[in-house]
Amino acid sequence: MRDAEFYPEGHLVAVLTCEPLDRTLDYKAPEGGVAMGAFVEVPLGPRKVLGCVWGEGLGGFDLSKARSISTVLDLAPMREEMRQFLEKVAAYTLTPMPAMLRLATRAPGLMNPPGMRKVYRRGEGRPPRETDARSKVLETLDEYGGLSFTLKELADTAGVTASVVKGMLPSGAVIEEDTPRDLPFRRLDANAPGNELTEAQEAAATALREDVAAERYATTLLKGVTGSGKTEVYLEAVAQCLKQGRQALVLLPEIALTSAFLTRFEERFGARPAEWHSGVTMTERRRVWKMVGEGGAQVVIGARSALYLPFQNLGLIVVDEEHDGSYKQEDGVHYNARDMAVLRASLCSATVVLASATPSLETWANVEAGKYKRLDLESRYGPAVMPDMHALDMRGEKLPSTRFISDTLVGAVKKRMERGEQSLLFLNRRGFAPVTICRACGHQIACDHCDARMVEHRFLKRLMCHQCGETKPMPEACPSCGVEGRLAPVGPGVERLAEEVAERFPEAKCAVLSSDLFASARALKEQIQRIAEGDTDIIVGTQLVAKGHNFPNLTLVGVIDADLGLQGSDLRAAERTFQLMRQVAGRAGRSEKKGVALLQTYQPEHPVIRAILSGDEEGFWRAEAAERKMAGVPPYGRMAGIILSGPDLAVVTDVANHLARIAGPLQRINAQLFGPAPAPIARVRGRHRIRFLVKAEKSAPIQAALAEWVGQVKLPNNVRLQIDIDPQSFW
């Protein structure tokens, strides 16, 4: 039966809730009826919970027992395209629907009545008695002509107490009013002129504008090195989207959501966009959620979960830095925001722009297959060009095992310092040293809860497990043999590198950029700002620095260990290294001065290192694509990772072996099953982890087969089964 748009009072409807149930629940439509997709409050046992009307009730029970929906909430009903989106993501990622609804309602207080708050503005009256304090209030109100303030804002701005303001109400000099707590965002000016575009930028912008204006689905890869003007171009697409009267979503990796970006947006459109990311307060989250749903927010700039906001008329999704690993959500619902953005857009006739200097192989393959369009911005905007790239063959540099910066690199940094330019030393490893070993017995200090070595963090004066976050003090004596004073760090982390920098360049100002060294995203962004303003000679950083920051005075990038990412069994190791090295190198020479990137490597002949140096991207991709095709792995085959975990290894192993024996559903689609085997990190937070990998042809119905397969077992308490479709990480 086709679902109706509206259900009259008493009609049995299905309601989807966020409760961990495997089905919708039936309720009677309340007085006045209820619309399909309406957000409602329903009784569940003794509680009231949030739900969404999901179609005809399923029935099959005594209807006189059915309870009624308690309240229809004053929220815009979920649109059909959004319901479809949630169902498709659920089916693709094998996620239960309640978890999807939770993703789509991640704002506090949606069940509360729309909040009002009191605001204060200038009235006609005059206070009977002019005091200093009262004059200050009037001056403040006059200065901001007509604007309303909250009590606290007004009192603080005027420098008086709240009671002064309150005392002015009877005379009518100040007026108190109720306004909705969640106000619309300031209107953006779609017609404000942008920068004058270069020829290449204009061509790209025109193509995107046409797609947006056509209001049908299309995806385009916008490729260009950092600084080529991709942002400039996609902001033109945003402008076109605003002209169509539609909403736009710009997804950025969390770290790229800087105030610099917002300022730039404001300069272009005359007001700030709505923001949606982990730094946004709860009140603001609710405002954004509601305003997106009511059309009071035209553009949202956000992290991946912004995809689940209730857009009413979404016309454009930009995924900036589309190759970025952080788009893959790895806890809770496993989804790749880039792929889900394409799905979302296809359901609401929107345009997708995937912007990157170093696209993912998936996107490259989709362009090759004709599914995505491609626009190239060939050179950097203005005078800057890609840096010269060279390998430093570490086999020829005789470094003691406690040092990591070759003499050649030291010389290059010194030269930059003499010229007053900045250098970046890049090492993708947090902490002081990855391994702490006992020189007496050879013992390596490991985490008590994980199969992982503990990493010394000298700034914190502790050892830390990068799997579970557990820390402990650095012991005096070896925990294994008890000998004192023989524990020694092995290998470098950024903190150790910073120590070496301090020794070798005593006069240099050095800044360390590593995610664990900053208490908040804001503190980190402030540090980045200071560096950009030139307050640093040498930056020591992890991959944090590889992303979208502009350091205009940076002309040298030294990669401490270019081989680091090539180890391991990850199928994307080559791709990631290639992207990361190109990105990091791209930090150098973003303004007039030409940059140089020096890569320390023990294997300069390695094909990936050679591809990085030569800059032959198409060649690299073709070779990489050919290898993946041969191996039948993504994007040319389907893959899923299955992790079973639990506190008792024997129990987990039993379940795994049982699953292996009943793999008929997988065999029927000709999928290959690898495992069970201990996961590369076989224990995390005290839970043992056993892994399967499933590989299938691209066209095989892998989700259905997986669901049938794991549906055959009832998991013992404490054992968890996680399925990750298109896994990005293999730990």
Interface with Zn ion by CB under 5 A: which residues?
Answer: 447, 449-450, 465, 467-468, 470
Residue 112 and residue 142 in contact, taking contact as beta carbons nearer than 8 Å: no
Q: Which does 195 bind (CB under 5 to 8 A by kind): ligand ADP, Zn ion, none?
A: ligand ADP
Measured distance CA(552)–CA(529) in Å, rounded:
11
Q: What is the three-state SS of 529-562?
A: HHHHCCCCCEEEECHHHHCCCCCCCEEEEEECCC
Contact call for residue 236 and ligand ADP (CB under 6 A): no
Contact call for residue 601 and ligand ADP (CB under 6 A): no
Question: Of 357, 368, 361, 362, which is closest to residue 342 (Cα–Cα)?
Answer: 362
Of 37, 55, 229, 434, the one binding ligand ADP by CB under 6 A: 229
Q: Which does 467 bind (CB under 5 to 8 A by kind): Zn ion, ligand ADP, none?
A: Zn ion
Shortest separation between residue 298's beta carbon and Zn ion, angstroms: 45
Of 150, 195, 402, 614, the one binding ligand ADP by CB under 6 A: 195
Q: What is the DSSP letter of 590?
A: -
Nearer to Zn ion, 470 or 708 (CB): 470
Residues 369-388 that bind ligand ADP (CB under 6 A): 381
Question: C-alpha angle with apex 108: 106 to 110, nearest 5 degrees?
Answer: 95
Shortest separation between residue 647's beta carbon and Zn ion, angstroms: 14
Contact call for residue 198 and ligand ADP (CB under 6 A): yes
Candidate segments 222-230, 339-347, 457-465, 617-625, binder of ligand ADP by CB under 6 A: 222-230
Shortest separation between residue 196's beta carbon and ligand ADP, angstroms: 6
Of 41, 232, 421, 561, the one binding ligand ADP by CB under 6 A: 232
Residues 10-69 that bind ligand ADP (CB under 6 A): none
Nearer to Zn ion, 465 or 494 (CB): 465
Nearer to ligand ADP, 229 or 604 (CB): 229
Shortest separation between residue 339's beta carbon and ligand ADP, angstroms: 22
Contacts of 281 (CB under 8 A, 6+ apart): none
Nearer to ligand ADP, 140 or 356 (CB): 356
Build a one-symbol-per-residue string for 324-363: x at contacts with ligand ADP by CB under 6 A, - elsewhere.
----------------------------------------
Nearer to ligand ADP, 220 or 436 (CB): 220
Contact call for residue 228 and ligand ADP (CB under 6 A): yes
Q: Which does 231 bind (CB under 5 to 8 A by kind): Zn ion, ligand ADP, none?
A: ligand ADP
Contact call for residue 263 and ligand ADP (CB under 6 A): no
Residue 542 and residue 513 in contact, taking contact as beta carbons nearer than 8 Å: yes
Nearer to Zn ion, 350 or 455 (CB): 455
**What is the identity of the amino acid at 330?**
E
Candidate segments 15-23, 192-200, 205-213, 404-412, binder of ligand ADP by CB under 6 A: 192-200
Contact call for residue 583 and ligand ADP (CB under 6 A): no
Shortest separation between residue 377's beta carbon and ligand ADP, angstroms: 7
CA 155 to chain centre: 38
- Buried b / exposed e across 488-521, counting CB within 10 Å, b at 16+? ebebbbbbbbbebbeebbeebebbbbbebbbeeb
Residue 299 and residue 273 in contact, taking contact as beta carbons nearer than 8 Å: yes
Find the DSSP H helices in 596-642.
Answer: 607-614, 617-631
User: What are the distances in angstroms from CA 263 to CA 56, 257, 331, 684?
Assistant: 48, 11, 32, 42
Nearer to ligand ADP, 232 or 275 (CB): 232
Residue 613 and residue 605 in contact, taking contact as beta carbons nearer than 8 Å: no
Measured distance CA(196)–CA(181) in Å, rounded:
39
Q: What are phi and psi of 164, to 5 degrees?
A: -60, -45
β-sheet bridge partners, residue 488? 437
Nearer to ligand ADP, 173 or 257 (CB): 257
Measured distance CA(10)–CA(32) in Å, rounded:
9
Of 44, 169, 197, 483, the one binding ligand ADP by CB under 6 A: 197
Question: C-alpha angle with apex 485: 481 to 486, nearest 5 degrees?
Answer: 60
- Buried b / exposed e across 443-454, counting CB within 10 Å, b at 16+? bebbbeebbbbb
Shortest separation between residue 522's beta carbon and ligand ADP, angstroms: 22
Contact call for residue 220 and ligand ADP (CB under 6 A): no
Q: Which residues bind ligand ADP (CB under 6 A)?
A: 195-198, 201, 224, 226-232, 381
